[in-house]
Amino acid sequence: MSDTDPHLNPRTTEGRGKLYSSILDTIGDTPVVQVKKLAPDNVRLYVKAEFFNPAGSVKDRLAISIIEEAERSGALKPGQTVIEATSGNTGVGLAMVCAAKGYPFVATMPTSVSVERRKLMRFLGAKVILTPKANKAMGCYLKAVELADANGWFLARQFESDANALIHENTTAREILADFAGDKLDYWVTGYGTGGTFSGVAKVLRKERPETKIILSEPINAQLIESGVVQERGEGGAPAGTHPAFEPHLIQGWTPDFIPAVLQESIDQKRFDELAPIDAQEGIEASKLLARKEGIFTGISGGCTFAVAQEIAATAAPGTVILCMLPDTGERYLSSPLFEGVGEAMNSEEIALSTSTPGFHLVDE
């Protein structure tokens, strides 16, 4: 038998059948994957794996959308610097898009988000201006406005831009409709940061799949929507102050200290069926389980969304179909509580294994 005998190694791939002219054309079309061991036998639980995007998160979609919309409208001039306030993934996405298209990019980011994100952006050629953790997302946002005004830079405005939810209507939602065509979809589960993913997908699902229940999750200690307290706003829908229901939480990229304008319309139109509070620690455990039991590697927000999906699955009727968003890759969290307890040196079990055979013991390094 030769190595190429298909029966010996039946797994083959075909290529995508096309050549890409830019990395940016590979954004979107992320796979929906079934989770088997962490779901009851009689329920089909799927995840939409956004870490397949080229810069590793759902925010690549927003980045290309905002930049190309600004190019079309003339708001962004050739070679002009782009600036944005970000909890990281938007910054990484924008850094990629700006690198590919030749715009300088500056991110403002609170010190509370993981250092990996800073390094990734700088690696992609961006400048990262850190803002104090105590000033929360709002301080980071105001710093971006200040720098944009002072320098005549293009401010991406992910929290207010129509290009945010729109890209999810035109891509994420369309992909879900296509992948579940001819099948049922009982629940779609997501959290929110800017609310772009939720607003865009929910708008389309309400129209095309009105039977699908939309579950929107929030950190248990920052239930801004559940509180019912109205967000104060200033010019252009920008937040005018920190929301009273906000408390700092560990779910990077979720629920800033204000309700973004992008999210507001979908709240007003009640494009969700249920709000699901989640404890960050539960999400961290769910993310670890996804990695160890399924080989699916996502961050804290993905773990939180998945924990909520598991709760639904636990009491769902037989045959229920659930789809859960996984916004980014777990590699973005090496320095965060997600990796707490994951060491660099060998533990006692590994040392015992190493010394159980004669060769190549690591004595001291």
Identify the residue among 28, 110, 299, 303 touching ligand PMP (CB under 6 A). Answer: 299
Residue 253 interacts with ligand PMP (CB under 6 A)?
yes
Per the annotation, the verdict on 301 as an active-site residue is: yes
Interface characters, 328-357, with ligand PMP (x: CB under 6 A): x-----------------------------
Span of 104-112, 213-221, 251-259, 352-360 interacting with ligand PMP by CB under 6 A: 251-259
Q: What's the 3-state SS for the chain?
A: CCCCCCCCCCCCCCCCCCCCCCHHHHCCCCCEEEECCCCCCCCEEEEEEHHHCCCCECHHHHHHHHHHHHHHHCCCCCCCCEEEECCCHHHHHHHHHHHHHCCCEEEEEECCCCHHHHHHHHHCCCEEEEECHHHHHHHHHHHHHHHHHHHCCEECCCCCCHHHHHHHHHHHHHHHHHHCCCCCCCEEEECCCCCHHHHHHHHHHHHHCCCCEEEEEEECCCCHHHHCCCCCECHHHCECCCCCCCCCCCCCCCCCCCCCHHHHHHHHCCCCCEEEEECHHHHHHHHHHHHHHHCCCECHHHHHHHHHHHHHHHHCCCCCEEEEEECEEHHHHCCCHHHCCCCCCCCHHHHHHHHCCCCCCCCCC
Could you say which of 154, 254, 258, 272 contacts ligand PMP (CB under 6 A)? Answer: 254
59 is catalytic: yes
Q: With binding defined as CB under 6 A, does residue 59 bind ligand PMP?
A: yes
Q: Which of these ranges, 87-95, 126-134, 227-235, 357-365, lies near ligand PMP under the rule CB under 6 A?
A: 87-95
87 binds ligand PMP (CB under 6 A): yes
Instruction: Select from 15-23, 34-42, 194-202, 229-237 the region that touches ligand PMP (CB under 6 A).
Output: 194-202
Query: Is 303 a residue that touches ligand PMP (CB under 6 A)?
Result: no
* 252 binds ligand PMP, rule: CB under 6 A: yes
Q: List interacting residues with ligand PMP (CB under 6 A).
A: 57-59, 87, 89-90, 191-198, 252-254, 299, 301, 327-328
